[in-house]
Amino acid sequence: MRLVLDTNVFVSAILSKQGTSRAVLRRCLQGTDEALMGQALFAEYESLLERTVVWSRSLITKQERETLWQAYLSVCRWVRVYYLWRPNLPDESDNHLVELAVAGGADYLLTYNVRDFANPELRFPHLKIRTPSQFLREVREKCQP
């Protein structure tokens, strides 16, 4: 599956010892799923990694977060977004995620802010907006006989 991971999924994967975000990140790092990365999302991740307030409860050190970030980047497929689908979402800051997903042919956009994507002006029927747990449940259901 091709995935776009919102930054909140990455943060959750680091802040909790277990959970669905960590399982999704692991699937990407192991090559089970292909994570997509674009310029706007890259900039958002880079900014996020510098916010010390976010990482105050982190289970890993800053150096370990940097190593994990580099490992994640190494498995991401870089996608250039040539067309902006705007206006689309009520929150302008979320539009770049949909644009990346559309440009990269993503199957899923994973986020904990599903409601922010609920009423778009433009519909992309092939793109599923899900939480990590919803995604993993759907993947399990597809694999069962």
Structure tokens at 39: 């310029």
Domain hosting residue 137, numbered range: 2-143
Q: Is residue 57 packed enough to be buried (19+ CB in 10 Å), middle (13-18) or exposed (0-12)?
A: exposed
Total structural domains within the chain: 1
Whether the CB-CB separation of 23 and 130 falls below 8 Å is answered with no
Q: Tell me: the pLDDT tens digits for 95-130? A: 899 899 999 999 999 999 888 777 766 677 899 999
Q: How confident is the model at residue 1 (pLDDT cuts 50, 70, 90)?
A: very high
Q: Tell me: the pLDDT tens digits for 41-81? A: 999 999 999 998 888 888 889 999 999 999 999 999 999 99
Name which of 42, 39, 46, 12 is nearest 26 in CA terms.
12
Name which of 53, 62, 79, 69 is nearest 13 in CA terms.
69
How high does pLDDT run on average in the chain? 89
**What separation, in Å, do the N-terminal and C-terminal C-alpha atoms of the chain show?**
19
**CB neighbourhood size of 78 (10 A):** 11
Instruction: Give start and end residues of each alpha helix (H) in 50-130.
Output: 62-75, 95-104
Q: What is the CATH number of the domain that holds 98?
A: 3.40.50.1010
What is the reported pTM?
Answer: 0.92
